[in-house]
């Protein structure tokens, strides 16, 4: 609930993605390239919260394998506005394995949009839409 007692309205996936891009650009301007992924994660967390985004930090995802449920099988960096998965990657280049990781997260969570946000050497990202 917000300060006036009405329920919070969450952004749509594209709006959340746009807001995350702005946060990533501000973080990149502040800390530059070549930082550790863990440090970039902390900076992004603070920047996204300062921007007023609803953030789930390091949420775990349960994997269902037949009749077996495995709680905490996966841990994502962030779920933003309950609609966008954000993974921070301190890599030179996004690889097919990063795409596969995001697609797995989308499939398991039922969410429709994910970002792999690069923090090294420049703030470029990949955007995936699952329809």
What would the pLDDT profile of 84-117 be if each residue is shown by its tens digit?
A: 999 999 888 899 999 999 999 999 999 999 999 9
Angle 50-82-56 (CA atoms, 0-180°, nearest 5)? 55
Q: Among residues 54, 27, 90, 107, which one has the least CA distance to residue 128?
A: 107
Helix (H) or strand (E) holding 56: strand 55-57
pTM of the shown model = 0.85
Q: What is the pLDDT of residue 76?
A: 97
Quick one: fold of 13-129?
A: Trna Endonuclease; Chain: A, domain 1 (3.40.1350)
Q: What is the pLDDT of residue 82?
A: 97
Give the 3-state secondary structure of residue 21: helix
Q: What is the pLDDT of residue 120?
A: 66
Residues with Cβ within 8 Å of 103's Cβ and at least 6 positions away in sequence, in order, are 114, 128, 130
Q: What is the pLDDT of residue 71?
A: 94
């Amino acid at each position: 609930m917000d300060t006036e007692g009405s329920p919070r309205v969450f952004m749509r996936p594209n709006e959340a993605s746009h807001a995350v891009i702005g946060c990533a650009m501000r973080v990149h301007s502040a800390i530059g390239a070549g930082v550790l992924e863990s440090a970039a994660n902390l900076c992004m967390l603070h920047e996204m919260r300062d921007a007023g985004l609803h953030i789930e930090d390091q949420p775990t995802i349960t994997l269902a394998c037949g009749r077996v449920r495995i709680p905490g099988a996966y841990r994502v960096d962030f779920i933003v506005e309950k609609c966008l998965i954000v993974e921070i990657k301190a890599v030179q280049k996004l690889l097919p394995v990063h795409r596969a990781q995001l697609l797995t997260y989308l499939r398991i969570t039922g969410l429709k949009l994910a970002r792999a946000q690069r923090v090294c050497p420049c703030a470029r990202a990949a955007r995936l839409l699952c329809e």
